[in-house]
Amino acid sequence: DIQMTQSPSSLSASVGDRVTITCRASQGISNKLGWFQQKPGKAPKSLIYAASSLQSGVPSKFSGSGSGTDFTLTISSLQPEDFATYYCQQYNSYPPSFGQGTKLEIK
Amino acid sequence: QVQLVQSGAEVKKPGASVKVSCKASGYSFTSYYIHWVRQAPGQGLEWMGMINPSGGNTVYAQNRITMTRDTSTSTVYMELSSLRSEDTAVYYCARDLWDSSGFLGYWGQGTLVTVSS
């Protein structure tokens, strides 16, 4: 099975900041990597698929990059509604697997 | 629009089984795989398995899980048997974004299953 490791596990930032979250796969997954946002008490919401493609309706402040084993999610100009937990997911091979999450908190 | 509506919260005793439903609408039910993911309190996301609503074939992460579908009502079911306290979690169904991609593009609202004596 493919293990996904996110860093950092938590991150404090201010409104208006730009932040980057990293996700590393235990083996190469091409670009089969997606990102989710989850707010407390809510289901995850898909943001990005194929490493860098925005899901319909997701603002362009979210961007993704990477290929192979190393990927990043960047959020620009943080707003209060962006403070949440973010997860990566690989879908290159079964079983699909998730990173452990990165909690983005207001500084 | 794509909607996945799950059944309500459940409380079960250890050793019992629970069956959670996920009713799909807004798209061709048999064209996309449905997955189940769970999240224990304060924890991350754990993939449990998937079902192809077209042929009914399944892939499970563990052997206490059974997934079925009813094409007449566009509903998928996930049954977890021999429940233990560690199975207390929110259970989500989710649909592939496209075909059998494995990327979970649309999610249900979640169903809390509590296992307690």
pLDDT in tens, A51-62: 999 999 999 999
Pick the residue from chain B with its C-alpha nearest to A46.
B105
Per-residue pLDDT band at B33 (split at 50, 70, 90): very high
Amino acid occupying residue B2? V
* A40 at interface of B, judged by CB pairs closer than 8 A: no
pLDDT score recorded for residue A3:
98
d(CA A72, CA A63): 8
pLDDT score recorded for residue B17:
98
Q: Tokens at residue A52, please?
A: 């860098």
d(CA B6, CA B25): 12
d(CA B29, CA B26): 8
Pick the residue from chain B with its C-alpha nearest to A42.
B109
For residue A104, give the 3-state DSSP assignment. Answer: strand
Give tens-digit pLDDT for B49-77.
Answer: 999 999 999 999 999 999 999 999 999 99
Task: Please say if the pLDDT value at position B100 is more than 80.
Answer: no
Task: Please say if the pLDDT value at position B98 is more than 90.
Answer: no
Of A6-10, A12-16, B101-105, the least confident: B101-105
Angular region, A57: left φ>0, alpha ψ -120 to 50, beta rest: left
* A32 at interface of B, judged by CB pairs closer than 8 A: yes
Q: From residue A38, how far is each of A43, A56, B27, B73 by CA, in Å?
A: 6, 17, 24, 29
CB pairs under 8 A between A and B: 55
For residue A80, give the 3-state DSSP assignment. Answer: helix
Q: Which of B59, B104, B110 is opposite residue A46, by nearest beta carbon? A: B104
Per-residue pLDDT band at B99 (split at 50, 70, 90): confident
